[in-house]
Amino acid sequence: MLQLTSLLLALSALCLPPCHTFAPSPPRALLARPATRLLMAEDVEALLAAARKLREESSELETKMGKTPAAAEVVTASSKALSMPEALALLEGADTSSRAALAALPLTSFDNPPKSTMGLKPFNVNLQGLESRTGGKVTGDNLNIDSSKDDVNLNDFKDATILVTLVSSVLAVGSSVALPNNTGATLTYLFAIVPVLWIAVGSSAPGILASIIAGAKATPESDEEKLSRVAAHEAAHFLCGYVCGLPVKSIQMSPAPQVEFFATPEGDLMRAEYSSDQINRLAVTALSGSVGEVLALGAASGGSEDLLFLQNCMSRSEEFLGSARQQDLTRWGALMAWNILKERSGAWNKLKERLLEGAREGGGGVTVAECCAIVEATPN
Could you tell me if residue 319 is inside a domain?
Answer: yes
Residue partners of 284: CB distance under 8 A and separation at least 6: 113, 117, 120, 240, 244, 333, 336, 337, 340
Whether residue 38 has pLDDT greater than 70 = no
CA dihedral 18, 22, 28, 33 (to 10 degrees): -70
259 three-state secondary structure: strand
Contact indicator for 236, 375 with CB cutoff of 8 Å:
no
CATH number of the domain bearing residue 254: 1.20.58
**Same structural domain for residues 278 and 353?**
yes
What confidence score (pLDDT) does residue 279 get? 94
Burial 288-315 (b: 16+ CB within 10 A, else e): bbbbbbbbbbeebbbbeebbeebeebbe
Please give the C-alpha separations between residue 178 and each of 29, 69, 171, 174, in angstroms, as whole numbers.
128, 78, 10, 6
Q: Do 108 and 187 belong together in one domain?
A: no
How many C-beta atoms surround the C-beta of residue 33 within 10 A?
7
8 Å CB contact between 314 and 326: yes
What's the total number of domains in the chain? 2
Nearest to 110 by CA among 122, 121, 101: 101
309 and 229, same structural domain? Answer: yes
Cα–Cα–Cα angle for 380, 63, 293, rounded to 5 degrees: 45
Question: What's the rounded Cα separation, in Å, for the pair 128 and 291?
Answer: 16
Q: What is the pLDDT of residues 59-103, one digit of tens each?
A: 566 555 555 444 433 333 345 678 899 998 989 888 888 888 888
What's the DSSP call for residue 119? G
Let me know if residue 204 belongs to a domain.
yes
pLDDT in tens, 318-335: 999 999 999 999 999 999
Do 134 and 281 fall into the same domain? yes
User: How much is the pTM?
Assistant: 0.65
| Residues 292-310: tens digit of each pLDDT | 999 998 888 877 788 888 9
Candidates 268, 367, 356, 278; CA nearest to 317 is 278
Q: What is the DSSP letter of 137?
A: S
- Please identify, among 217, 247, 266, the residue that sits at the C-terminal boundary of a domain: 217
Q: Are residues 142 and 158 in the same domain?
A: no
Residue 34 in any domain: the answer is no
The DSSP 8-state label assigned to residue 274 in this structure reads B
**Same domain, yes or no, for 318 and 296?**
yes
Residues 6+ apart with CB under 8 A from 287: 143, 145, 303, 306, 310, 330, 333, 334, 337
Residue 145 — pLDDT band, cuts 50, 70, 90? low
Same domain, 292 and 355: yes
pLDDT-based confidence at residue 19 (cuts at 50, 70, 90): very low
pLDDT in tens, 171-199: 988 888 888 888 888 888 888 899 999 99
Same domain, yes or no, for 294 and 213?
no
Distance CA 195, CA 178 (A): 22
DSSP structure class, residue 164: H
Task: Provide DSSP, 224-253.
Answer: HHHHHHHHHHHHHHHHHHHHTTPPEEEEE-
In angstroms, the CA 107 to CA 109 distance is: 6
Mean pLDDT of 334-360: 93
Q: Which of 10-19, 208-217, 277-286 shows the lowest mean pLDDT across its residues?
A: 10-19
- The residue from 171, 200, 217 where one domain ends is 217
- Residue 46 domain-assigned? no
Residue 65 lies in a domain: no
Q: Which amino acid is at 349?
A: N
Per the CB < 8 A criterion, the answer to whether 338 and 57 are in contact is no
Domain ranges, residue 196: 154-217
Q: What is the pLDDT of residues 222-231, one digit of tens each?
A: 778 888 888 9
